[in-house]
Amino acid sequence: MVARIYRPAKTAMQSGKGKTQRWILDYEPETARSVEPLMGYTSSSDMKQQIRLFFEDREEAVAYAKRNGIPFRVEEPRERTVRGASYSDNFKFSRIAPWTH
C-alpha cells in the first residue's frame, strides 16, 4: 500500500490559509468502497484509509515513511498566484464586457 505525502490546499470556502502549513501522510485505498444494498451505506474493509498523520515539514514525513518501511509518493504543493485587481477596474472604459447593474 502506497502512502501519499502532501501539503493540503486552501479550501474554497475560506480566504485564509489555515491548516495548509502542515504536511499529511495518507494511505491510498487498497480496495474500492462498496454500497451496502439494504440501507445504502458506503463502506470499506480497508482500515488504513482512516489513518492520517500530520508533520511539520516534508522531511519529517519522508523520514517517518522510510523508518517504518512504508512505500510513499511525495506530491509537491503548487503555490497559488494572486492576481491583483482594484475596485476601479470594474468601471474602466476598456472593459471587455460592459458594466451593468
What are the pLDDT digits (tens) for 39-62?
A: 989 888 888 888 999 999 999 999
Q: Which residues contact 12 (CB under 8 A, 6 or more apart)?
A: none
Instruction: Note the pLDDT tens digit of each residue in 68-87.
Output: 999 999 999 888 787 778 88
| pLDDT-derived band at 92, boundaries 50, 70, 90 | confident
Q: What is the pLDDT of residue 83?
A: 79
Between the two ends of the chain, the Cα-to-Cα distance in Å is: 55
Q: Give the pLDDT of residue 70.
A: 94
**pLDDT at position 17, please?**
81
* Distance (Å) of CA 38 to CA 13, 41, 42, 48: 35, 8, 11, 25
| Dihedral, 56, 58, 61, 62 alpha carbons, nearest 10 | -160
pTM exceeding the 0.85 threshold for the entire prediction? no
For residues 43 and 29, what is the distance between their CA atoms, to the nearest angstrom?
12
